């Protein structure tokens, strides 16, 4: 993934920098940034933003409870059930997720309904 980003001429790298604030009223205008090495603040005018928190799941803590795939994602059925009865998974932690908020919300609804049915039985 890094190689794809580095080879894209439309992407400008801003190293050693964190976002302090997303600025805009009804529309996104800019980001307030801070260089973590120098402490210097700056502003970057933008039209859009995608927030990504990573691509590797942090699911190892569940490996003794449920089945994980080779990449570390939790294996579920279509109703978000895992290999352990009564344990359900939803969103980006699960195998075959689209890693999108809208599908994670749908997964959450399915998991909640499945958990409700499980408790009720």
Task: Give 13 or 83, the one with higher predicted confidence.
Answer: 83
Q: From residue 67, how far is each of 1, 44, 104, 117 by CA, in Å? A: 27, 43, 19, 22
Mind listing the pLDDT tens digit for each residue in 58-75? 899 999 999 999 999 999
Neighbours of 67 (CB within 10 A): 14
Q: pTM of whole model > 0.85?
A: no
Question: Domains in the chain, please, with CATH?
Answer: 2-45 (no CATH), 60-120 (3.50.50.60)
The sheet carrying 17-24 orders its strands as 17-24, 28-35, 41-45
Q: Are 66 and 74 in contact (CB under 8 A)?
A: yes
Asked if the model's pLDDT at residue 37 lies above 80, the reply is yes
């Amino acid at each position: 993934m890094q190689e794809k980003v580095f080879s894209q001429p439309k992407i400008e790298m801003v190293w050693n920098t964190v976002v302090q604030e997303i600025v805009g009223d009804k529309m996104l205008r800019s980001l307030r940034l801070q260089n973590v090495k120098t402490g210097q603040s700056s502003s970057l005018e933008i039209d859009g933003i995608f927030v990504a928190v990573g691509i590797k799941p942090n699911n190892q803590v569940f490996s003794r409870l449920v089945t994980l795939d080779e990449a570390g994602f939790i294996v579920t059925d279509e109703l978000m059930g895992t290999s352990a009865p009564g344990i359900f998974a939803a969103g980006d932690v699960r195998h075959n997720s689209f890693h999108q908020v809208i599908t994670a919300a749908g997964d959450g609804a399915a998991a909640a309904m499945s958990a409700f049915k499980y408790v009720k039985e």
